[in-house]
Structure 1
Amino acid sequence: MLRLRSLLLGLALVLILGSVSAEVIDFQTCPDSVDTCTIQQVRVTPCPEALQHAACNIRRRRTTQMSFDFTPHFDADRLETSLGWAKSDTEELPLLTMDRDTCKYTTCPVRSGVTQTYTTDVPIEPKFPLSPYTIRWGIKDPVSGKRCCFTHDIKVVR
């Protein structure tokens, strides 16, 4: 009985520590999605730089977990995800290896006014140039074109 209690206590501690290890980062909502979606919070693991409101140092050859809470102001049976380098307001270089099926990483269908979380692991490939980037996330209803969108800064490092 004592052993089971110790095991449960250890498991609870691991779950608690795992849930607080994600760092909340600064982000900007895309102008065209302000009325169609609310982004509550964006998290990157690891990102100790978030405490200083700085761009996350993302290491090549490692996987980074990114998650965010969003409330769509539209209904959709399925969604598509995009992630890319926002070179300008109108130009984006997409991450081609990104799985576009949003429903694998959050609950579908989505309903207007219902907050949910999207979480995925993003592998940072060795070929990514060492540089700062503004990246743009998008989750879009392929039927209506309505989307949730935001940008945040990262810095790819060794």
Structure 2
Amino acid sequence: MFNAQRLTSSLFWASPTGDLPFDKFTDVDACLYSTCPTVSGTQQQLSYSLRLDKFIPNGIYTLKWRLWDAEDESKECCFKTNVKIR
């Protein structure tokens, strides 16, 4: 992890053709959903409820969550998780 005074976050569908951003969670002030500043080596939680539109087809999707220092984008972390929609 990394130290940051302010965090920014975005959520993407990691599709086979490239990352597609969720318009409701793009370049969001992550400090609204977590504690800032962040300190390297300290465990933190980010809590956000995402409502998906009904037109998304059933299936398993890989979501990519990106967090970065709002003042230095070279400081970032990403993780992926699979989500089943039915």
Larger helix fraction of residues: 1
Is the shorter-chain TM-score for this pair beyond 0.5, marking a shared fold?
Answer: yes
Alignment-derived partner of residue 67 in structure 2? 139
TM-score by length of 1: 0.49
Query: Is 1:77 aligned to 2:15, yes or no?
Result: no
SS of residue matched to 1:103: helix
* Structure 1 Cα separation of the partners of residues 9 and 38 of structure 2: 14
Give the superposed CA RMSD: 1.7
Query: Is 1:121 aligned to 2:18, yes or no?
Result: no
Q: 1:148 aligns with which of 67, 77, 85?
A: 77
Structure 1 counterpart of 2:52, one-letter code: I
User: How far does the alpha carbon of each residue in 1:113-156 deviate from its partner, in whole angstroms, 9 at most, with x for none?
Assistant: 21111111111211222222111011111322211211111122
Q: 2:20 aligns with which of 93, 96, 111?
A: 93
% of aligned pairs identical? 36
Alignment-derived partner of residue 47 in structure 1? none
Gaps of 5+ in 2: none
Structure 2 counterpart of 1:91, one-letter code: G
Gaps of 5+ in 1: 1-71
SS of residue matched to 1:80: strand
Structure 1 counterpart of 2:41, one-letter code: G
Aligned residues: 84
**Rg larger in structure:** 1
Higher RCO (C-alpha under 8 Å, 6+ residues apart):
2
User: How far does the alpha carbon of each residue in 1:82-113 deviate from its partner, in whole angstroms, 9 at most, with x for none?
Assistant: 1111024x820011111611001100111122
Moved over 4 A (4+): none
TM-score by length of 2: 0.84
Query: Is 1:106 aligned to 2:34, yes or no?
Result: yes
